[in-house]
Amino acid sequence: MDYSKVKEAAIEASGFSYAPYSKFHVGAAIQCKDGSIFLGCNVENRSYGLTICAERSAVFNAIGSGKKDFTAVAIFSPDSEFPLPPCGACRQVISEFCDAGVPVFFSGKDKNFKMLLVKELYPFDSLHDLKKE
């Protein structure tokens, strides 16, 4: 499968990031089985704890648009020196909606994307076990 579009979408989404406090801009994108792609970015708030990460923003954007079946996730930050994987909270949210074998691509400013599967980012997921039953 060609994952260049979802990676490009994450790069585009980082341009929409609202991060006046951390100055750390993040974009994410999630690709659906029908080929459509939904964007997300981190959206900060002066009450810092209300901030949402780019990854959860992308997932909620897709779910809120009626999508259910996903084939890839991508994350990009122009402000990271290293490939930026999702935080723990986002790993759990991604695993809620993406199968264990879905690839998650993540990159820092060099645009050299690493890849881990959902099951590698979030192993022994009880939800995936429950869904099997």
* Contacting residues toward ligand THU, per CB under 6 A: 19, 22, 24, 26, 42, 44, 51, 53-55, 84, 86-87
Catalytic residue among 55, 81, 96, 120: 55
Alpha helices (H) in the chain, listed in sequence order: 4-14, 54-63, 88-97, 118-121, 126-132
Nearer to ligand THU, 6 or 54 (CB): 54
Cβ at position 41, least distance to ligand THU in Å: 7
Give yes or no: 55 in active site: yes
User: For the chain, give me the number of helices (H) and strands (E)?
Assistant: 5, 5
Cβ at position 95, least distance to ligand THU in Å: 15
Q: How many CB atoms lie within 10 A of CB 12?
A: 15
Q: Which residues are catalytic?
A: 55
